[in-house]
Amino acid sequence: MSLLALLLAMNTQQTLPASEKITVASYYFGNYHPGDPRNEKLKGTGWSEWELVKNAKPRFPGHHQPNVPLWGYEDESDPKVMAKKIAAAADHGVDAFIFDWYMYNDGPFLDSPIDHGFLKAKNNKRLKFAFMWANHDWIDIHPYRKGAPQKLLYPGKVLPETFDRIGDLLIKKYFRHPSYWKVDGKPYFSFYELTKLLESFGSVSSTRAALDRFRAKAMKAGFGGLHLNAVVWGQPILPGESKPADTVKLVKDLGFDSVTSYVWIHHVGLPDQQTDYNYVRDAYFQYWKSVETQFGVPYYPNVTMGWDSSPRADQRDLFGNFGYPFMNTISGNTPARFREALELTKERLLQRKNGPRILNINCWNEWTEGSYLEPDRVHGLQYLEAIRSVFRAK
């Protein structure tokens, strides 16, 4: 089905007034600051992922690298730097940062941009924040040499008692903050990796019980419960099984309140080394249409700015589509095309009879995956201006 035919089909639904509120959230990946203890132990004093951004090179004809930040290689754990990000986001129609939040059995990782940056920024009341628990295995890929054995640094699977501590920490330290994002009055908390979540407890029923305990703690703390969100992608595997689980049934059995996506390429293959942005957009819209009513809970759509993971691929190696981070890219992702994707997403969200109307954007600062809203030296603020023109136009 063509995109035009798809939009015509969607227009059979009741269209709601354009004044209806749409919440725009942006994922935030916090690895652009010196001084993280894990990074310093592994990579040396002062290392941050900015080093990969600086060292990136063109890998094929027509490939634009390096991407250079207009604001420079700033320390995101500095509250003044974060205050500038907050102001830019709020001024251009972004309502919330969803931080990629890392917590393992032995403690936190990449928490400085939150604890020292966002929470200490004097203007943090201008922007909501929430967490997506990035509970995936952390592999040594900064950078990754093609064909090298994958080295697991921090496993995404945690002990049940770790998860209980996580709930206590979130409620005490973060959910009580006046800027923590709530959906229908309940703190929003998202899970990136369902397979690792299940592995942590050993069964669906035990996982559901842990989530129910988490909800009960939030109720006891006076929050009225939690809004638990699942990022749906790939094929979750149940503990002890080898074949993929029924994701729709799994979301229902675990009691999630909503589902969402992190990035378009989780649902769309990239057939060419430079796959056209609108090809990926249209294929994602087909995916969205196919899952919108499957889960029985709201699906919050994603708009992706771009994709180019080549900075994480060792620059000495031949580049090709060999497996992440050696993989095909998205091309033609101009600010104008990004704006069109936002407009199409807004149009569809406004057709929903019931809220909440939420979309998330990948990403505020995935510089080493080629998907960022922060200004660079080529486009300046144009991606942020696209958001403002679609969601804040008078």
The enclosing domain of 349 has a CATH number of 3.20.20.80
pLDDT value at residue 205: 96
pLDDT tens by residue, 7-35: 434 433 333 344 568 999 999 999 999 99
- Does the residue 372 lie in any domain? yes
pLDDT value at residue 139: 97
pLDDT value at residue 16: 38
Under-70 pLDDT residues of the chain: 1-20, 394
Q: What percent of the chain has pLDDT over 90?
A: 90
State the Cα angle at 125 between 365 and 297, rounded to 5°. 65
pLDDT tens by residue, 183-215: 999 999 999 999 999 999 999 999 999 999 999
- Does the residue 39 lie in any domain? yes
Tokens of 20: 């209806």
Query: How far is the CA of 312 from the CAs of 32, 48, 53, 59, 73, in angstroms?
Result: 14, 12, 8, 12, 17
- Does the residue 352 lie in any domain? yes
User: Which helix H or strand E contains 99, and what residues bound it?
Assistant: strand 96-104
- Does the residue 192 lie in any domain? yes
- Does the residue 14 lie in any domain? no
Number of Cα atoms under 13 Å in the Cβ half of residue 37: 5
- Does the residue 126 lie in any domain? yes
Residues 6+ apart with CB under 8 A from 321: 270, 273, 327, 328
Count how many domains the chain has.
1
- Does the residue 6 lie in any domain? no
pTM reported for the whole predicted model: 0.94
- Does the residue 2 lie in any domain? no
Phi-psi category of residue 234: left, alpha or beta, with phi > 0 → left and psi -120 to 50 → alpha: left
Helices 277-291 and 3-10, axial angle in degrees (round to 10): 30
Average of per-residue pLDDT values in the chain: 94
Give the separation between CA 373 and CA 191, rounded to whole angstroms.
Answer: 23
**165: domain range?**
21-391
